[in-house]
Structure 1
Amino acid sequence: MEVLCQSRPKPILPYAGVYRVIDFTLSNCVHSGIRSVAALVDHQRADMTRYFRRWFSANRSLGSLTVLHPRNASYQGTADAVYRNLDYLSRQDSDTVVVLAGDHVYNMDYRGMLDFHRAAEADATVGVVRVPITEAHRFGTVVTEPDGRIAEFVEKSSRPKSDIASMGIYIFNKSLLEAYVTEDAADPSSRHDFGYAILPRILRKGELFAYEFKGYWQDIGTVEAYYEAHMDLLGEKPRVRLESTPPLLSDRKVSIGRSGGERGYVVNSLVGPGCVIEGYVENSILSPGVRVAKFAEVRDSILMAHSRVGYHSVIDRCILDERVDVGELCYIGFGNTTSQAERDITLLGKGVTVPGHTVVGRSCVVSPKAGLGSFPGRSVPSGSVIPLPVP
């Protein structure tokens, strides 16, 4: 995700052309009746703060949105972030705290999980979802008793015993959370992280439960996951529905259609406002202002705002970041799909300019702002990185 996140933090990556990933978590709070939210930000905090302010200005139904960033050194982990803002937490009236991640795609009413937490008389409750066992190593995994009590929790095991994965959603009794993060802060050997430190500590000493979420959920921690979260928007029965009720809220009034553009042909795609499509687009998501020239083809791809595809060029199974300019008679994503298709995505970073008559293979990564001189011989073999890393 490094190429996509060089110019913006992961939570405000574009999603579905006109939204941001963080919109899901914020919208879930509003629709769950949560009226007081604190956003703990560190990496690229200025960009995050600006977005939160715009979002809150457009969505006043959220009672308060407080942005908290470290006053000196960076946060050392998720638990450390909470510990260093205990003064804020102590001023809140609620005796229950919901801790959420900002880089997940899902629609969830947290009230069901809160009811479960209270009924179980838990010290803490972890939101969990079932994932393919081949993907479980990316997450904390749990082994549960029939009543939902967690018997074992392991963060990102190389050999997970379970396909029940932590969603990075936690509910704590406030007084216990304060005690646990304070105890953790005094431990010099701790990683100061909820998954690695706090949850194992609660498992040893208290009552830790799992609440299984049955809906769609995707952690966009990898390029492949980010791509799949977009492809899940498409088809006759998409796994993610933007037209759902209650609605997904953003920092502005937005809309994206399943067809559009001018004079072109669009099949099973989402097209943002202001796109000009004179070629062919299939199974793709186009952000506002994208231009697809005559006889050009875009297939199974994500094109971010103001990207341009030149005359007779092909974009196949790619992600093009904002303001990518592909010249005429190019083929980006050239080659046969392997049996491990999830590794075949070609990624062009923000502001890349691809000269005409260039072929770029599958599984390539082109770093942001790569220009005309970055494509020697106008042919880039599959699996290449441009510019090449310094030895």
Structure 2
Amino acid sequence: MTLPDVRAALLAGGLGERMGHLTDTLCKPLVPYAASCRLVDFSVANAARSGVPEIVLLSLHRERDLIDHLLTHWDGRGVRINFGPHDRLIRSGPLTAGETLPPRPPESGTADALLNNAEYLFAPGARDVLIQHADHVYVHDYGPMAAAHRAADADVTIGVQRIERRFVHLFGMVDVDDDLRVRRLVEKPAEPTSDLVFTAFCLFKADVLEEVLTSLAALGDDGWQHDISRDVLPHMIREGRRVLAHPITGYWADIGTVERYHLEQLKLLDRPFPLPPETLPRTLAATAPRHRPEHESLTGADVTVPPGASVRSSLLFPGCVIEPGAEIDRSVILPGATVRAGARLGDTIAAAGEDVTGTRTGLAHLRTGGVPPR
């Protein structure tokens, strides 16, 4: 299904502080994933797959690197990337090496990102606005969701998924009636009463979203939290707007912390594979990664596991090097990392370009600021 009158808003402005040292030199959307691509590529690929013609980039941090990536791998290849206030500059000619971009206005939350880019999001041509996040991992066609949204004449349709009740407090909890009308959305509830959570992608009628954002902005800084799931959607529910839920099946992950980054990638090794290699975006290499049953691992096509090396239940990214005598178990080896002979890694991550020797277990070396596991 193609969606010519849908415009996507890609939220890519978070600092990524809970990703520890993985975001020391990268913006979070560019952190590598699944031995195949970067986090941001999943949402962009989903939009392109669904026939969404344009994505408006809403970013703040290390934006130049993100723009370079999107220009190289996505812009004009099934989808146009609108770089908002920078779009005219970028399309006037190639950016020079080291060229910086004018800073965007500061934001207190995701709703601010929408307000600051209203002229691009609500330009003529879009009947609906699709909200996406640049750190969510899933492979999805938005066509059925858009069809259900329009058939029901919904003001907004939100993706929802059932998860284990013990994890609901990490997400936005959703209560629905028998007709999938949303009765309540509570962000990170202390005592969950439902196992249904908001997947944080949703489809708004463009005119309704613009109207609601304008009315909330009129409250002033003290009247709201500037957030889609804390303010915009609860406000619409209280007003009696048609807020509907669309159940999402299959693999979906919100990569919020370094612990979750590690754990969710190891889940990709489970059978049946939640995200088969052929479904993954490919921006780190032209060839899809492959499952290596002899190692129970997912590896870039160019990665060699030499005789004498032991690799079990791990992800080896394109461009990494494993030396004979290395032992790797339940670990993620990022692009350009080298694991030397005699190194022993367990339940850990080797950062991009790192030279790893000795023994390493766990993720303590990547945490910053004493952030607890999520």
TM-score under structure 2 length normalisation: 0.83
Task: Find 1:151's aligned residue among 183, 195, 207.
Answer: 183
Instruction: Provide the rounded CA distance (Å) in 2 between the counterparts of 1:325 and 1:227.
Output: 19
CA distance in 1, matches of 2:115, 2:135: 21
- 2:318 matched to which residue of 1? 288
**What is the rounded CA distance, in whole Å, between the counterparts of 1:116 and 1:367 in structure 2?**
42
Query: What is the one-letter code of the residue matched to 1:65?
Result: I
Deviations 1:150-179 (A, max 9, x none): 111111112222111111111111111001
- Is 1:237 aligned to residue 269 of structure 2? no
Residue in 2 aligned with 1:253? 286
CA displacement 1:121-159 (0-9 Å, x = unmatched): 211111111111111111111110000001111111122
- Asked if 1:203 corresponds to 2:219, the answer is no
Mapping for residues 1-391 of structure 1, pairs under 5 Å: 1-57=19-75, 60-62=77-79, 64-68=80-84, 72-187=104-219, 188-189=221-222, 190-205=224-239, 206-244=241-279, 248-250=281-283, 253-259=286-292, 267-278=295-306, 279-327=309-357, 330-333=358-361, 346-347=362-363, 364-366=364-366
Q: Letter of the aligned partner of 1:283 in structure 2?
A: S
CA distance in 1, matches of 2:284, 2:337: 22
Structure 1 unaligned blocks of 5 or more:
260-264, 334-345, 348-363, 369-383, 386-391
Change (3 A) 1:275 1:242: closer
Percentage identity across paired residues of the two chains: 29
Q: Distance in 2 between matches of 1:365 and 1:71?
A: 32
Cα distance in 1 for residues equivalent to 2:348 and 2:336 = 16
SS of alignment partner, residue 318 of structure 2: coil
Q: Deviations over 1:9-41 (max 9, x none)?
A: 222110122311111111111111111111111
Equivalent residue of 1:161, what SS?
Answer: coil
CA distance in 1, matches of 2:26, 2:334: 13
1:366 positional shift: 4.5
Indicate conservation of the 8 Å contact 1:150/1:209, yes or no: yes
**Range with greater deviation from structure 2 (96-105 or 41-50):** 41-50
User: What letter matches 1:306 in structure 2?
Assistant: G
The CA distance in 2 between the partners of 1:43 and 1:185, in whole Å, is 24
Q: Deviations over 1:263-314 (max 9, x none)?
A: xx95111222443433111111111232222222111110011212222221
Name the CA distance, whole Å, in 1 between partners of 2:253 and 2:65: 23
For 1:331 and 1:75, the matched residues in 2 are separated by 42
Classify 1:165/1:252 alpha carbon distance in 2 versus 1 (closer, same or farther; 3 Å): same
Instruction: Give the superposition deviation at 1:228.
Output: 2.4
> Which one-letter code corresponds to 1:23 in the other structure?
D
Equivalent-residue separation in structure 2 for 1:155 and 1:106 (angstroms): 21
Distance 1:103 1:366 in 2: 18
Which sections of structure 2, spanning at least 5 residues, go unmatched?
A: 1-18, 86-101
Cα distance in 2 for residues equivalent to 1:186 and 1:99: 22
Q: Distance in 2 between matches of 1:367 and 1:107?
A: 29
Contact in 1 for aligned 2:36/2:285 (Cα 8 Å)? no
Secondary structure of 1:365's match? helix
- Look up the SS of the partner of 1:258 in the other structure: strand
1:322-341 CA-partner distances (Å, limit 9, x unpaired): 122222xx2211xxxxxxxx
Per residue, is there more helix in 1 or in 2?
2
In 2, Cα distance between equivalents of 1:312 and 1:365? 19
SS in 1 for 2:199: strand
RMSD after superposition: 2.2
Q: 1:166 to 1:250 in 2, by over 3 A?
A: same
Q: Distance in 1 between matches of 2:319 and 2:77?
A: 29
What is the aligned partner in structure 2 of residue 360 from structure 1? none
**Deviation (angstroms), 1:233:** 2.1
**Aligned 8 A contact 2:51 2:78 in 1:** no
Q: In structure 2, the residue corresponding to 1:118 is in which secondary structure?
A: helix
**What is the alpha-carbon distance in structure 1 between the residues aligned to residue 49 and residue 336 of structure 2?**
32
How many corresponding residue pairs? 331
